[in-house]
Amino acid sequence: MQPENSKSSTDQSEEEMARNLGTESRRAMTFVPVGLNMQKFQLSPISCTCRRIYVQICVLLVIVLLLVLIRTISNVRVMFEEYHMASDTDGELVVLPKQFAQSRSAFCLDGTPPGYYIRYGQFPGNTNWIIYLSPGAWCSTPVDCYNRSFTALGSSAIAPIFFPFTGILSANEEENPDFYRWNMVKILYCDGGSFLGNRPEPLIHQGKPLYLRGTHVLTAVIDYLQMNTNFGAAEKVILAGSSSGGLAALINVDHLRKKLTSVKSIHALLDGMLFVDSQNIYGKHKMKDTLKDVFHLHQIADAPAIQECTSSLASSITYRCMDPLYFYNYLFTPVFLISSLHDSWYINNALAITCPFKKCPPQEVVVINEYKLAMLRALQPVKQSVHDGLFITSCPAHTLLLTKWFYQRDVSVNNSSLQQALSRWYHHQHPVKYIEDRHFSQILNCKTVTY
């Protein structure tokens, strides 16, 4: 048996070893940050700050994107509203499919397909149509046609998408009470020959082929309208035109009547197209010579619309059929003629008089008065017609159908605006032969001069 002090010593040694072991274990489990560990610990707040910045940047980007999206949507809405408003009041360009145009040999001067502007009508006028032929003079030489082919008067490729429909084409009931609900079509004038050109082969100038196919252009557009709109079921049709387009309407309207056999009524409105033959200040007959050159360059003699006239004349004088008041003798369709006895375009271009009316010298006033008398003489057959109407103002103007003077009374004859006179004629209320013959000195206060 061991002595008690020996046992006690052993127990103490075991306890001491246990304490030492516990102390070492605690030391091993204790984390003491030193050196590098302290630096890692200090980076923690910095990392947190960077994440916060990243979040803020992301939120800001989202806000910016939302703002851009909202702005874009707003712009799209505005563009749609503008397009919708334009489509309701203006004409929208339709270019004929290339294959369709080629099958009918119908080309603008530069070879592009022809086209038209259209605004559809509303009930009860949606079975009625106004087909309008635009002004734009002519190209009477190869150089003229070549230069013209680079403009909207010779190419559908650069024609504007919309065209403002005003005057007789207006959708405003107050301005155009008789026709504002009708279907409206303005055919793009891109042939330079009053829709009468019939030249079979292109004219080559400076290596560029020029297509003088106006009669094919008009036919193709009418065919396309019949096939792709309700124009084929039209009940009433008015063929209207201004200046060179008025001459086109005059010569083409009977031919159109033969094509539209199911239409109940066809009329023609002829605006600013009384191109009478009158001598200018240099003793030249500029108007007759221009129309003669157009007739021959575009080979119009055999065009279907004019052939009844040309076939009755010797070949040396067939160009006379381009004289509107000569061709009038062959006309069957009722027409309403609109013109000025002091046509501002004619005075400038055909008479070569460019002075302001208030300052024209006496010798030029004499030439203007001779022109006025020639027009009054030429109008006698129209005055005697039972079916045809006249609105002839003395105010210096050229065309009126698409201007504000169509409905405003600043240009009035017999106390009637053009719109009122046209309405009376169209609805057969009474004969309309309105002619205002004033002396040159009395027209100087007119409010309008249009070209």
Mean pLDDT of 113-132: 95
26 vs 269, more confident:
269
Cβ atoms of 237 and 128 within 8 Å: the answer is yes
**Beta bridge partners of residue 221, listed in sequence order:** none
The answer to whether 190 and 153 are in contact (CB under 8 A) is: yes
Give me the helix-helix angle, 214-228 and 244-259, nearest 10°: 50
Peptide bond into 142 cis (omega under 30): no
Model confidence at 442, pLDDT cuts 50, 70, 90, reads confident
Report which of 178, 451, 223 is spatially closest to residue 336, judged by C-alpha positions: 178
Quote the distance between the C-alpha of residue 409 and its chain's center.
27
pLDDT tens digit string along 142-153? Answer: 999 999 999 999
Instruction: Over range 13-21, report the average pLDDT.
Output: 54
Question: What's at 397, amino acid-wise?
Answer: A
How far apart are alpha carbons 193 and 133 in whole angstroms? 12
**At 3, phi and psi to the nearest 5?**
-70, 155
The yes-or-no verdict on residue 56 having pLDDT over 90 is no
Query: Nearest-CA neighbor of 291 among 239, 335, 247, 343?
Result: 247
User: What are the pLDDT digits (tens) for 380-407?
Assistant: 999 999 999 999 999 999 999 999 999 9
Give CA–CA dist 227/236, Å, rounded. 17
The predicted structure's pLDDT at residue 44:
47
How many other CB atoms are there within 10 angstroms of residue 142's CB atom? 16
Residue 37 has pLDDT above 50, yes or no: no
Q: What is the mean pLDDT of the chain?
A: 87
| Confidence band, pLDDT 50/70/90 cuts, at residue 441 | confident
What is the biggest distance separating any 2 CA atoms in the chain, rounded to whole angstroms? 167
- Cα gap 404→435, rounded to integer Å: 20
pLDDT value at residue 245:
98
Contacts 24+ apart (CB under 8 A), 258-264: 259/222, 260/234, 262/232, 262/233, 262/234, 263/234, 263/235, 263/236, 263/237, 264/235, 264/236
Residue 241 has pLDDT above 80, yes or no: yes
pLDDT surpasses 70 at 10: no
| Percent of the chain's residues with pLDDT above 70 | 83
In angstroms, the CA 215 to CA 255 distance is: 11
Report the pLDDT averaged over residues 368-377. Answer: 95
Of 11-25, 267-281, 412-426, which gets the smallest average pLDDT?
11-25
> What CA–CA distances, in Å, run from 147 to 138, 160, 174, 287?
12, 19, 40, 21
pTM, two decimals, is: 0.80
Adjacent-strand bridge partners of 106 = none
pLDDT at site 97: 98
Label residue 46 left, alpha or beta by phi (over 0 means left) and psi (-120 to 50 means alpha).
alpha
pLDDT grade for 428, boundaries at 50, 70 and 90: very high
Q: What is the pLDDT of residue 143?
A: 98
Greater model confidence, 379 or 31: 379
SS3 358: helix
